[in-house]
Structure 1
Amino acid sequence: MTIRAVVFDFGGVLFDWNPHHLYRKLIADDRERQWFLDTICTQAWNTEQDAGRSLAEGTRILVEQHPHHEALIRAYYARWHEMLRGPLAEGVTILKALHQANMPLFGLTNWSAETFPYARANYPFLQYFRDIVVSGELQLIKPDAAIYHASLNQIRAHLPDIQPAEVVFIDDVAGNIDAAVALGWQGIHHVSAEHTAACLRELGVGF
């Protein structure tokens, strides 16, 4: 079946986002910094904000739980943009090539509704996407099936008769790909730009 739309995850595929980019400036010791990010400002906690909880509420809850770490906790969102080092050039190269080949492009990202406007304002390549599903805006989160249904509905606003098997999803988290494949989508686990490009070509996507 012909691929008629490509859906991109953002972090780890198109964006170099990592809390360590900020916290290396705040916690010099590698082991202490890793402990803080594994124990206090965890990915699971951040995901709650990506799923729609406000940054203020998420911060308030964590400060109440760990008052001795208040300054470091508050830095997470106060200086969030310092975690976003910039675009991943090789991933963006694939995106641009697909755009130039007139492939319909869509985004599906776990991202807070409050921080995503910064990306829109600062990264012009996001204009290549016909539409973007942002988890925090919908209060849905990958890998829940509901967010994939929302994405497919968004795609069908542009390509009304498209079928799940005609959509390929690129994500650096294997579980997110598994969820898409379970719904009938094609999936590429992004481990490198070279691998992703090769998989796209195996699916018949020319660019």
Structure 2
Amino acid sequence: MTPSGAPRALLWDVGNVIVRWDPRTLYAKIFKEPADLDRFLSHVGTLDWHAATDRGVTFADNIAALSAEHPHHAEHIAAWWDRWPEMFSGTIPETESVIEDLAARGVPQFGLTNMSGETWPGVRAMSPAFRHFRDTVVSGDERVIKPDPRIFEIVLARTGLAPGELLFVDDSAANIAAAAAMGFHTHHFTDPAALRPAIERFGLL
């Protein structure tokens, strides 16, 4: 769907748009052999398994269920929560800079993240840029994840804005496609250096 009008507010994804998150950052410390690392992340601690926490399942329950299936990996699975902060490798300065400049211009900014409600407070503390968000829709609290259209409907209800008034920035092509189908303006985040020029083309900077 072609958006109507120009955007006047930003809707930001969080992981790998504002903060860098990758389970490999942690598990490369745990598994010394690359083949063991790949095997664990592709067959045990998978992103599909982790998605349950994004849908509102607690880390404790999700870890217990997987540990019952793979008891010989129980210690490794427990690290997903016990050492959760080690999956992060800092913020993305280019995005933080854009958020700060948009805030200086008075552009409303919001967040939409696939994330457990248990982890959002800690992630929010990783960057001062989050203080500019008027609201953040966290999938774990809503029990629905992107790219389900229902979570975008929640955003519209919470912000009071129409899809064509929001520019959505996300690193997932599937999420971008879902938002675009609903009439949001979109920018697929693949290169931090390309972010500012894209925001400028939309006339927000």
Q: Which runs of 5+ in 1 are unaligned?
A: 157-161
Residue 60 of structure 1 deviates from its aligned partner by: 0.8
d(CA) in 1 for partners of 2:19, 2:69: 31
1:190 aligns with 2:189: yes
Deviation at 1:28, TM superposition (A): 1.0
Look up the match of 1:202.
201
TM-score normalised by length of structure 1: 0.93
**Residue 71 (1) aligns with residue 75 (2):** yes
Identity of aligned residues (%): 35
Matches within 5 A, 1:25-104: 25-104=29-108
Using structure 2 for the length normalisation, give the TM-score: 0.94
Q: Sort the Cα spacing of 1:123 and 1:196 in 2 relative to 1 into closer, same or farther, 3 A.
A: closer
* 2:125 paired residue among 121, 128, 143: 121
CA distance in structure 1 between the partners assigned to 2:70 and 2:168 by the alignment:
38
Match for 2:39: what amino acid? W
Amino acid at match of 2:91: P
Residues 59 and 108 of structure 1: is their aligned pair in 2 closer, same or farther, counting only changes over 3 Å?
same
- Give 3-state SS (helix, strand or coil) of 1:111's partner: coil
Letter in 2 for 1:172: D
| Runs of 4+ with >3 A deviation | none
Cα RMSD, aligned residues only = 1.1
Deviation at 1:152, TM superposition (A): 1.2
Q: Is the contact made by 2:111 and 2:133 (CA closer than 8 Å) also made in structure 1?
A: yes
Task: Could you tell me which runs of 5 or more consecutive residues in structure 2 were left unpaired when the two chains were aligned.
Answer: none
| Separation of aligned partners in 2, 1:194 and 1:121 | 24
Aligned residues: 201
